Chains A and B, each alone.
Chain A
Amino acid sequence: MYTIEVQNLTKRFGSFTAVNNISFQVKKGEIFGFLGANGAGKTTAMKMMCGLLLPTSGSARIAGYDLKSESKQIKKEIGYMSQRFSLYDDLTIKENMMLFGTIYKVPKQELNERIEGHLTELNLMNHKDQLVSSIPLGWKQKLAFSTALLHRPKIVFLDEPTSGVDPIVRREFWSLIYKAAAQGVTIFITTHYMDEASYCERISIMAEGDLKLIGTPTDLKIRMGVNTIEELFTHFVNR
């Protein structure tokens, strides 16, 4: 069963094509790595799938809903962590979670329980009244991920969640991803760390708006006759 089905999705800014006619599917509970060079069109494509940016043409079904006519329902079923800013620095950890939970209309009692659950899992219970501005980046990112899960979405879109995060916390972040995926949440993630690409069940590579390649990391390496994902990636960057 597919939770993401993208058909000929295109985005132009004036005469510049940022996303060029891409099509693919992602299965329920799959961890899907969306790779590509800087400016390849990853964030643009992701914003369209989340209903934050209007496609120039093409269509998509996200969590079973049509992107054009049912974008309200889609927003309830997805979580989104944007590249860089996803929490409010001047609110505390708990306030941030309350705010997002309330926006998504999670019932009060339920919300409190879920927040407590997540904070315990992250070992942040003792820090819940600390301002988000005062905590290290890696904590923020793990917190933002948990916050994106508060309304129990079917899919989470993660745009470079581990960029700048240290090697230890990066691995902790991936454990959280695996836990969520094991519970059936579909993970759609971008990253520039090639070791993380191999934690994905399938990956795709975009270059200059085109979706060049899609498959499991192992199959793609065999198909392209390379030993590492980094070589695979380099192959599709035109210089």
Chain B
Amino acid sequence: MSVIQVQNLNKSYNNLQALTEISFELYKGEIFGIIGPDGAGKSTLFNILATLLAPNSGYVSILGMDLNKDYKKIRKEIGYLPGTFSLYPDLTVLENLKFFAAMYQSGIKENLAMIMPIWRQLIPFKNRLAGKLSGGMKQKLALCCALVHKPHILLLDEPTTGVDPVSRREFWELLAQIKSYGISVLVSTPYMDEVTRCDRIALLEKGRFIVIDTPSQIIKDYEGKLYALKTDELFHLLELLDQYGENCSFYPYGEYLHISFYQDVGQAVDRFKNFLNQNQISYNSFQEITPILEDCFIELIKKSRDVYH
């Protein structure tokens, strides 16, 4: 059963085409991730689904209601965390939470258990003005506010941006719990390690979905052969590689350089090793690895732009 249906959605601002022929469904109890480069149109899509922005054409139904006609009813059923802050800086942490609960005619007591894993971290600061929280703490509070009325559908536009890695893990555990209540979640994130935890992912590039699939299928569909090189001269090597004319793509990944080869991999690898030797780059290890979603994302975006490095 689907709780959101989107068909051939288009949106343009003046001359700029922000979304083109977007179609997808969000199933009940599903966590659906939207990823895409900056400016791809993620927030436009969220604003439309949250009934804050009208599309130019296309059909959207949310919980069986038509977006154009029933937007007032729809608003009551969704929880929306916009990409930019929506808190009241002059209210305290607790007052903000109470305000959002009241807005949806919901008490905070009933649903506190659900948001506790995140709310717990804010309790010591509950009487502090929201404007005086650190960046990541504000984000956590905004998240609690979007969740506090236990909506049927959650629209989360970059809920974890600026949130530290430990809290991000806790947040995704919370999402898994929320899912078990039958709540459906549409979420965008710039952290590729997080999308692994989605049931399905859509990759938005220049206003179009270029892939919609499960994380494991996206990894299976990775086209090149991926290698990881460990060297202490990473950024120096990157500069040298600007002149490397071969058909491969490369980028730093933490302590490693990731390199994807496409054809005649055995020979391409040998040529690459020669290149390292010629330039006297010493390395600790160089081996084939299984791609993770960040590699897939980089590859898909590069491919859709049809330019390699």
Which A residues contact B (CB, under 8 angstroms)?
13, 36-40, 42-43, 83-84, 134-139, 160, 163-169, 171, 174-175, 178, 192-195, 198-199, 217, 229-230, 233-234, 237, 239
Contacts and interface: CB of A to CB of B under 8 A. Distances in A.
A171 to B, nearest CB: 5
B138 to A, nearest CB: 9
Contacts of A84: 135
A237 B255 CA distance: 23
B165 A233 contact: yes
A150 to B, nearest CB: 23
B166 interface: yes
B119 to A, nearest CB: 14
B162 interface: yes
A134 B136 CA distance: 25
A166 B163 contact: no
A167 B254 CA distance: 12
A36 B112 CA distance: 27
Interface-central residue, A38, A40, A84, A237, by most chain B CB under 10 Å = A38
Interface in B185-244: 190-192, 234-235, 238
Contacts of B37: 136, 138, 166, 168-169
Contacts of B125: 39
B251 interface: yes
Given A38-B164, A135-B39, A237-B164, A164 B254 contact: no
A192 B132 CA distance: 20
A160 B298 CA distance: 22
A194 B254 contact: yes
A64 B238 CA distance: 33
B165 A239 contact: no
A230 B165 contact: yes
Contacts of A171: 251-252
24 contacts: A37-B167, A38-B134, A38-B139, A38-B162, A39-B125, A39-B133, A39-B134, A84-B135, A163-B190, A166-B37, A167-B297, A169-B38, A171-B251, A174-B252, A175-B235, A175-B238, A192-B136, A192-B162, A192-B168, A195-B253, A199-B254, A233-B164, A233-B166, A234-B165
A38 B165 contact: no
Contacts of A168: 37, 251, 298, 301-302
Nearest to B37: A166
B167 A38 contact: yes
A97 B215 CA distance: 41
